[in-house]
Amino acid sequence: MEDYIYSFSSFLVRSRVSVNLFLSQFEPLALLLALLLTLLVARVLHSLFSVIHDKGLKDTLLGLFMSSFKLIPGGKSYIDAEKQKIVDKWQSGSKSKRDEWRTELPTTGFGEGIIEDMKDAKSKDVDWKGKCSGTVYIGGSESEGHFSLISEACSMFQHTNPLHLDVFQSVGRFEAEVVAMTADLLGSKEKASGGQVRGNMTSGETESILFAVKTSRDYMKMKTGITKPEMVIAESAHSAYDKAAQYFNIKLRSVPVNKEFKADVKAIRQHINRNTIMIVGSAPGFPHGIIDPIEELGKLADSYGICFHVDLCLGGFVLPFARKLGYQIPPFDFTVKGVTSVSIDVHKYGLAPKGTSVVLYRNHEIRKFSNSINL
C-alpha cells in the first residue's frame, strides 16, 4: 500500500516539475492571455452547442451564414434593401385604397346607403368559396342553405349578453349543450374518461389554448408548487402556445418534430424537468395535417404527473366521424390516459361562424383553475 502511495506522490512531484519546466518558457502575460482565450473559446462553443440543441443544426448554420453575410461590407444594407422591397410591394396598392377610408364619424348618417356601401366593398373581396383551404370550412353548393340557417339563428341572438345568464337563460342553455355534445364526441361518456369532463365555449382556438395553458399552470402550482413553470411543445404546435407562454410567464421549450413530422416523444421527454407543467399534442397539427402520437404523449405526461393538452382544433369534429366511417383512427381524446384538457374549434369543421370554440378539462378539479379567483 505504502509503495503505491509513494510512487503516486512521486508521480505528482515529477509531473509538477515537468509542467513548471514547460510553462517557464512562456511569459506570465502570455499564459494569462492563453487562459482567457481558452475560456472565451469554451464559452463560444458552449453557446453554439446550446443554440444547436434548441434550434437544430440547419437553422443554426443558416443563422450563422446570415450573420456572417451581414459582416461583409454592404451585406447588411443589401439584406435591408431586399426586405424593404418586399414590404413596399405589400403596401403598394392598398395605400391608394386606404386614402378613401373614413377616419372620422360622418356628420350626417348614411341611412340605408350604408348597406349599399358595404355590399360594394364586399363585392371586391377575393372570391374564396371552395378555393381557400383553412379559411372558411364550408363553401360548396351545400353552404347556401347552411349559411342562411346560421344567419337566421345568429341574428336572433345578436343583441344578447351571455355574461348575464339570468337574463338570457336560452343562451346559457345553448352553451351548455354545445359543451356537452362536444364532450360526448370526445369520450366524456366512456369509462376511461372518468365521466367528469367539464368545459366552456370561447371565442376561438387561440383563446381555448390560452385558457388550457393558464388552467394547467395554476393547477400544477397548487398540485406541486411549481413557481417557475415551463412547457414542452413540438415545433409543429400552433403559435397560440407562444402567446400563452408570453402572457402567463411560462418558459417555452420547442422541440423539432421527427422524420415523419410528428411530435418526437423521446426528444420531448429529454426536455422535461422538475419545472415542467405540461406538454401538448395536436390531432392534427396545422402546418402538416399530421396527428401526433397522442397515446404515447399521454403515457409520458402521466408518468411525470404533468398536464397534457390535445389540440383538436382541426380534428375534433372530423376524427370521431372518420372513425365511425371505419377509418383506423388511434385514440386522441379523453379515453387516453394522461390527457388533462382538449380544445376544439366549432368555427372550423363545426361549420359555425368565426368566433366559436370549446375548451374541455378532464374534471372540475382542473377546470376550476380557469377562474382567476382560485389563484
Ligand X SMILES: *Cc1c(COP(=O)(O)O)cnc(C)c1O
Ligand Y SMILES: *[C@@H]1O[C@H](CO)[C@@H](O)[C@H](O)[C@H]1NC(C)=O
Binding site for ligand Y (CB under 6 A): 198, 200
Closer to ligand Y by CB, 200 or 215: give it. 200
CB of 147 to ligand X, least distance (A): 19
Q: How far is 176 from 168, CA to CA, in rounded Å?
A: 13
Q: Which of 357, 359, 360, 361 binds ligand X (CB under 6 A)?
A: 357
Asked if 248 interacts with ligand X (CB under 6 A), we say no
DSSP 8-class letter at 373: G
Query: Position of cell 413530422?
Result: 261
Q: How far is 180 from 192, CA to CA, in rounded Å?
A: 17
Q: How far is 358 from 211, CA to CA, in rounded Å?
A: 10
Closer to ligand Y by CB, 198 or 309: give it. 198
- φ/ψ bin of 62: left (φ > 0), alpha (ψ from -120 to 50), beta (otherwise): alpha
Q: Which of 199, 204, 293, 331 binds ligand X (CB under 6 A)?
A: 204
Q: Pairing between strand 307-311 and 251-255?
A: unpaired
Q: Which of 168, 174, 286, 304 binds ligand X (CB under 6 A)?
A: 286
Buried b / exposed e over 129-163, threshold 16 CB at 10 Å, is eeeeeeebbeeeeebeeeeeeeeeeeeeeeeeeee
Residue numbers 206-235 binding ligand X by CB under 6 A: 206
With CB cut-offs between 5 and 8 Å by kind, which of ligand X, ligand Y, none does residue 198 bind?
ligand Y
Closer to ligand X by CB, 268 or 310: give it. 310
With CB cut-offs between 5 and 8 Å by kind, which of ligand Y, ligand X, none does residue 341 bind?
none
Quick one: cell of 260? 415523419
Q: Is the distance from CB of 292 to CB of 319 less than 8 angstroms? A: no
CB of 40 to ligand Y, least distance (A): 54
Residue numbers 309-348 binding ligand X by CB under 6 A: 311, 313-314, 345
Q: Which residue of this chain has its Cβ atom nearest to ligand X in the complex? A: 205
With CB cut-offs between 5 and 8 Å by kind, which of ligand X, ligand Y, none does residue 282 bind?
ligand X
Sites of contact with ligand X (CB under 6 A): 204-206, 238, 240, 282, 285-286, 311, 313-314, 345, 357
